[in-house]
């Protein structure tokens, strides 16, 4: 199979239309068969639930070309499960896990020419999503839904790749204490856009959203969880009921404990203790682990000892081990890698 003629090492994190995507419809109380299609457009009724009341959830995962030339995905079962949780919370019919995994396999296989080569620094990003396609005008769940999955090749999420980021503590809330922060719903991201535009205009790479109730604890950014390293090389990750249960973070916790022999603590993290950490990183499918050099809290600068030039020592070890597992150069825990081709 011949690869597409792209400058793989220089693509950014943006959408490109690829060859095939998967579509399945839910109607009359059940999911229909589903198929691959070349049509990248979605035609909807003007009163579709997604357009009126934002009933939608999505996932993000990647396919990798490994060192031996295989194409694999990383823990797609966890994305399938999280999407079922998101759907249930939004009163949508969950898309069955086995069908999610079949859709992943089919779409990646059909777009194998778009999977970036090993060593290019790029990967294939998979975007499964589902939305209310049926009409609703009173505020209630729709009765018809569509599940889709498309793929697009991507480079690093943050421009500059591994250069440490500067964040600011946001004045806005992303998710409420008993709200939807723990699910992957498009509405959470709409909530973060105004804050994100303001942060970028002010010269910051991203927002740190504090907890909405007290504004004293670290939650997450608009698209990644936090990971901190203490001066004694302990890994600390913020615990909260209103952040997304990141699959990358859960994987890194395992890697830190079982591959690197590090102590890991998951607990609420106060903004006031940030200056005590030696390293900070953002973790997620898109972010992988992106180092943070500085956080600005209303004029007060918190600079991590790892500096603004490169990743800190422990962050680097975590990054190398995780990406080694994904690219097939480090042995993976059982069940983490799903081979597609």
Site residues for ligand COI per CB under 6 A: 60, 223, 284-286
Contacts of 122 (CB under 8 A, 6+ apart): 8, 9, 11, 116, 153, 154, 155
Half-sphere exposure (CA, 13 Å, Cβ side) for 225? 29
Residue 238 interacts with ligand PLP (CB under 6 A)? no
Helices (H), 287-331: 313-327
- How far is 95 from 104, CA to CA, in rounded Å? 13
Burial (CB count within 10 angstroms: exposed 0-12, middle 13-18, buried 19+), residue 154: buried
Residue 167 interacts with ligand PLP (CB under 6 A)? no
Residue 218 interacts with ligand PLP (CB under 6 A)? no
Nearer to ligand COI, 181 or 223 (CB): 223
Q: What angle do CA 13, 15, 20 make, to 5 degrees?
A: 130
Nearer to ligand PLP, 220 or 279 (CB): 220
Neighbours of 178 (CB within 10 A): 10
Q: How far is the CB of 154 from ligand PLP (least distance, A)?
A: 13
Residue 280 vs residues 2, 302, 306, 315: alpha-carbon distances, Å: 40, 11, 8, 8
Which listed residue (18, 146, 196, 285) binds ligand PLP by CB under 6 A?
285
Contact partner, 253, from ligand PLP, ligand COI, none, Cβ < 5-8 Å per class: none
Nearer to ligand PLP, 108 or 282 (CB): 282
- How far is 260 from 182, CA to CA, in rounded Å? 28
Q: How far is the CB of 150 from ligand PLP (least distance, A)?
A: 16
Which residue's beta carbon is nearest to the bound ligand COI?
A: 60
Residue 224 interacts with ligand PLP (CB under 6 A)? yes
Whether 249 contacts 237, CB under 8 Å: yes
State which of positions 56-75 bind ligand PLP (CB under 6 A). Answer: 60
Q: How far is the CB of 284 from ligand COI (least distance, A)?
A: 4
The contact mask relative to ligand PLP for 242-281 (x = CB under 6 A, - = no) is --x-xxxx--------------------------------
Nearer to ligand COI, 124 or 142 (CB): 124
What pairing do the DSSP bridges indicate for beta strands 56-58 and 123-132?
Answer: antiparallel
Interface residues toward ligand PLP, by CB under 6 A: 60, 220, 223-225, 244, 246-249, 284-285
């Amino acid at each position: 199979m011949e690869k597409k003629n792209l400058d793989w090492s220089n693509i950014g994190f943006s959408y490109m239309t690829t060859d095939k995507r998967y579509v399945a419809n839910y109607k009359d109380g059940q999911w229909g068969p589903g198929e691959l299609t070349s049509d990248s457009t979605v035609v909807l009724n003007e009163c579709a639930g997604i357009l009126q009341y934002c009933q939608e959830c999505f996932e993000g995962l990647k396919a990798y070309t490994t060192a031996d030339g295989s194409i694999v995905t990383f823990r797609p079962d966890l994305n399938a499960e999280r999407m079922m949780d998101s759907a249930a919370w939004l009163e949508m019919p969950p898309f069955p896990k086995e069908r999610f995994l079949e859709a992943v396999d089919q779409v990646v296989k059909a777009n194998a020419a778009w999977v970036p080569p090993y060593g290019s620094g790029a990967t294939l990003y998979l975007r499964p999503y589902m939305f209310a396609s049926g009409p609703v005008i009173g505020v209630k769940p729709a009765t018809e839904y569509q599940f889709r999955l498309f793929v697009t090749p991507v480079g690093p999420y943050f421009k500059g790749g591994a250069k440490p980021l500067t964040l600011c503590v946001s004045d806005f809330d992303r998710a409420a204490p008993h709200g939807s922060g723990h699910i992957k719903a498009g509405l959470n991201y709409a909530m973060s856009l105004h804050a994100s535009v303001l942060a970028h205009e002010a010269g910051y790479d991203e927002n740190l959203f504090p907890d909405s109730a007290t504004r004293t604890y670290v939650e997450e950014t608009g698209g990644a969880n936090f990971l901190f390293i203490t001066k004694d090389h302990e890994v600390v990750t913020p615990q909260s009921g209103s952040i997304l249960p990141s699959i990358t973070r859960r994987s890194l916790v395992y890697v830190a404990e079982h591959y690197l022999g590090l102590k890991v603590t998951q607990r609420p993290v106060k903004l006031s203790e940030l200056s005590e950490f030696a390293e900070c990183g953002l973790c997620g499918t898109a972010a992988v682990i992106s180092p943070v050099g500085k956080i600005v809290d209303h004029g007060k600068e918190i600079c991590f000892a790892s500096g603004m030039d490169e990743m800190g020592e422990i962050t680097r070890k975590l990054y190398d081990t995780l990406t080694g597992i994904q690219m097939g150069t480090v042995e993976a825990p059982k069940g983490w890698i799903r081979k597609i081709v």
